Structure 1
């Protein structure tokens, strides 16, 4: 066994323990400053991790409020986008916040087509029933991506097509993915502008 390797491993472990001790102390101090009774200690079983004690429902609720304040911008953007979707009667799941991103969820092909048009895409040729044909669906995905980019000043949306599945008994749909709060605000603004233009 290489003695230098063992020394490096020991040094890494000490660094992880020190980081966990500093993080747990910082969390305890911040909790006390906020009036929360929360105990945080370096984990005895997992090196470099912090164990947080069980907390009362009241402390958990207050902690959730503090975290939401940190993500307030994202929650506000999600609410603006939800209102914009509702103003056009778009059947899109309520946007929700995850990892400071606005998750848009799955939509039908018809809803994706309407959304693309509201964002400025030209109507797609052909009948509504043709949207489910592979080439038409790929054109729809491209139209939606382009319209989103133009409506948001260069924003990126990566819609993903999921064909109908007889085995799963699911209809064809498009997953809109997640966008930043800033892009969500721009998208909401574009939809409000489309409402005024209608």
Structure 2
């Protein structure tokens, strides 16, 4: 381990008074440097010189990058397992949805069709509309978003903020609902709620 020793957040920039963002970068670089040293990672985190207020980690060896990757993946292992559990629950109900994945510590759900959103609402215990209703009409789509959000809250205790994207005649794109992302624990409760629902007959 040959990382440069840092004993104070002001070692790199001197002891003069620092702006708040510079002090935050200095403190963060010290914390990261010490954590990497404790983990045996040859990575020197330093307050930025060319970009004051940022943390400079410079170049690292492939071995250090690989070790850091393993540590990060280990830290998000639980979230990855929950995203996989949710994927299986969605697949079990033949819901036409993108595979959920971990991004920035949350579970991304992505965009789904209005018919899929309607089915998901029903699986979560929400009311179903008149079968003759055209879901892609703006008023009906807004009602669908409300029904889905309410059913999601009742079944998971969490919040969903879906965003409606109307169909586009110019580009021939169908109407979609963007579910964005949800916290990991909410994703766990969503998977549990779907697992408890009986599967529909083929």
Give the TM bin, normalised by the shorter chain: 0.7 to 0.9
CA distance in 2, matches of 1:178, 1:92: 13
1:72 matched to 2:77? The reply is yes
**Structure 1 residue matching 2:197: 3-state secondary structure:** helix
Query: 6, 13, 17: which one pairs with 1:11?
Result: 17
Matched, 1:145 2:149: yes
Question: Taking structure 2 as the reference length, what is the TM-score of the superposition?
Answer: 0.81
Q: 1:98–1:18: structure 2 CA closer, same or farther, 3 Å change rule?
A: same
Q: Structure 2 vs 1, CA of residues 16 and 139 (structure 1 numbering), >3 Å: closer, same or farther?
A: closer
Counterpart among 140, 161, 165 of residue 162 in structure 1 = 165
CA RMSD of aligned residues (A): 2.2
Distance, in Å, in 2 between the alignment partners of 1:24 and 1:101 is: 25
133, 138, 151: which is aligned to 1:134?
138
Query: Larger deviation: 84-93 or 58-67?
Result: 58-67
Aligned residue pairs, count: 186
Which protein has the bigger helix share? 1
What is the Cα deviation at residue 71 of structure 1?
A: 2.8
| 1:45 alignment partner, SS class | coil
Q: Which runs of 5+ in 1 are unaligned?
A: 1-9
> What CA distance in whole angstroms lies between the structure 1 residues aligned with 2:132 and 2:70?
48
- Matched with 1:36 is 41
